[in-house]
């Protein structure tokens, strides 16, 4: 026990350790000259950026461009000459007549009416359910037919009476 008391007194008699003193450094005094220099350089850059661009002298076209322009001018002259020759060419005399009479119009043959090529199938579709309308029938047909997969094509859809829908198909 005495040893412990001796150690305690020895510890009490030792001088207390001084905590290390943290030195405060004023960073501003080191960075201030850098900040000033940065401002000067930034101002110079702004002046250079805002300066009007120098006036550029028009560049002369290249040799290829000049040759292309000459070729286009020659082609244009040939076309103009051809158009002038067509204007001077003799035209067959046209029969100058007044408006056609009914007899002249009736004597000309009729142009034949060309029927549509391919088959024209008409389908009448109705619903068993009396509460379905024509719109419901059309929706059910759209759901039931996969037109992209089957390749079927519907040309016209028309609603008829009593929940009936008329479809016209070429395929």
pLDDT band at 61 (very low <50, low <70, confident <90, very high): confident
User: Percent helix, strand, coil in the chain (nearest 5)?
Assistant: 50, 10, 40
Contact 145, 165 (CB under 8 A): no
* pTM of this structure: 0.32
Q: What pLDDT is attached to residue 1? A: 80
The predicted structure's pLDDT at residue 72: 95
**97: pLDDT strictly greater than 70:** no
Is the pLDDT at 57 greater than 90? The verdict is: no
Question: Residue 23 above 90 pLDDT?
Answer: no
Return d(Cα 142, Cα 39) in angstroms, integer.
72
Residue 125 pairs with which residues in a beta bridge? 165
Rounded to the nearest 10°, the torsion over CA 149, 155, 160, 164 is -20
The span from the CA of 134 to the CA of 2, in Å, is 113
């Amino acid at each position: 026990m005495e040893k412990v008391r001796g150690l305690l007194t020895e510890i009490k008699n030792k001088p207390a350790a001084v905590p290390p003193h943290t030195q405060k450094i004023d960073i501003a005094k080191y960075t201030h000259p850098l900040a000033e220099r940065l401002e000067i350089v930034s101002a110079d850059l702004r002046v250079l950026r805002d300066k009007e661009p120098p006036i550029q002298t028009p560049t002369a076209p290249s040799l290829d461009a000049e040759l292309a322009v000459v070729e286009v001018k020659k082609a244009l002259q040939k076309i103009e000459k051809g158009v002038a020759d067509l204007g001077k060419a003799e035209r067959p005399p046209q029969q100058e007549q007044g408006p056609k009479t009914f007899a002249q119009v009736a004597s000309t043959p009729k142009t034949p009416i060309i029927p549509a090529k391919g088959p024209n199938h008409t389908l009448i579709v109705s619903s068993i359910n009396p509460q379905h309308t024509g719109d419901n029938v059309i929706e059910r047909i759209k759901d039931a037919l996969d037109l992209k997969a089957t390749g079927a094509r519907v040309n016209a859809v028309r609603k008829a009476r009593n929940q009936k829908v008329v479809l016209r198909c070429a395929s």
